[in-house]
Amino acid sequence: MAVFVPFLKSMLLIPLTLLPIINPLSGMPVFTSQAGHNPTVVRKMARQIAINCWFILVASILIGHYLLDIFGISLAIVRIAGGLLVAASGWRMLSHTEEDEVMKAVAKETSDLPDAEIARRSFFPITFPLTTGPGTIATSIALGAHFPKTPLRYFLGAMDAVLGAGITVLVIYICYRHAPAMLSKLGEIGTMVMMRLFAFILLCIGVEILWTGWASLNHIAS
């Protein structure tokens, strides 16, 4: 019991920390624009996105800080670069009004997509940078940086990462799996308003990540 309780707390810390940053509800309009309303395509794409996100989260937690050390990149720089990328994505979604008709046509498409196309659409832009973007990756790396280095405790930490990431992607899968049904109740105007709102939120998140990285960099320099 003395080992199980800290293990459970560490496992639950991962989804509790990452889900507010990921906010899968904000990706639902973009997911629907890419997957359409075909139940088979929606299910396959939601499952593929969940798998993609799981690998990214686990890799970021377990080996992310080692990779940064190898390339000599600080976490602050990752946040700055990631913030720029997220902000650019939000601005592009907010300002490119000419894409509305294209996205509307894709959303109404009901034919099956080949698996290769589902894999392509599921990774960019939904898995990255919309769902597991730079902010999520930087936070995951920070979580993994605190893992103990002794073999047994690191193994327990790895189990935390695997299970905690599993809970996180399960929530992501549920949100995306039911995204078309939920958005259909909003109608076209409601969906467009929601997309613009979350695009603005994504822009703000990018600026926040950028500012956090810049503040950390200045603190290190001083």
Are the C-beta atoms of 89 and 129 separated by less than 8 Å? Answer: yes
Place of tokens 């509790």: 16
Are the C-beta atoms of 138 and 75 separated by less than 8 Å? Answer: yes
Q: How many domains does the structure of the chain reveal?
A: 1
Q: What angle do CA 123, 124, 126 make, to 5 degrees?
A: 80
What domain range is 177 assigned to? 30-221
**In a domain? residue 61:** yes
**In a domain? residue 13:** no
What pLDDT tens digit does each residue of the chain (222 aa) get? 555 777 788 899 999 989 988 889 888 888 988 888 889 999 999 999 999 999 999 999 999 988 888 988 888 888 788 778 778 877 877 776 544 544 554 544 445 778 888 899 899 889 987 899 877 888 898 888 777 777 777 788 899 999 999 999 999 999 999 999 988 887 777 777 777 887 787 788 778 878 888 888 887 776
Within 8 A by CB and 6+ apart from 112, the residues are 38, 40, 41
**In a domain? residue 23:** no
**In a domain? residue 100:** yes
Q: What is the CA radius of gyration of the chain?
A: 18
The string over 79-95, giving b where at least 16 C-beta atoms fall within 10 Å of a residue's C-beta and e elsewhere, is bbbbbbbbbebbeebbe
Q: What angle do CA 68, 57, 20 make, to 5 degrees?
A: 110
**In a domain? residue 14:** no
Q: What is the pTM of this model?
A: 0.79
**In a domain? residue 21:** no
**In a domain? residue 174:** yes
**In a domain? residue 51:** yes
Instruction: Give the DSSP per-residue string, 35-100.
Output: HTT-HHHHHHHHHHHHHHHHHHHHHHHHHHHHHHHHHT--HHHHHHHHHHHHHHHHHHHHH-GGGH
Distance, CA of 28 to CA of 191 (rounded, Å): 10
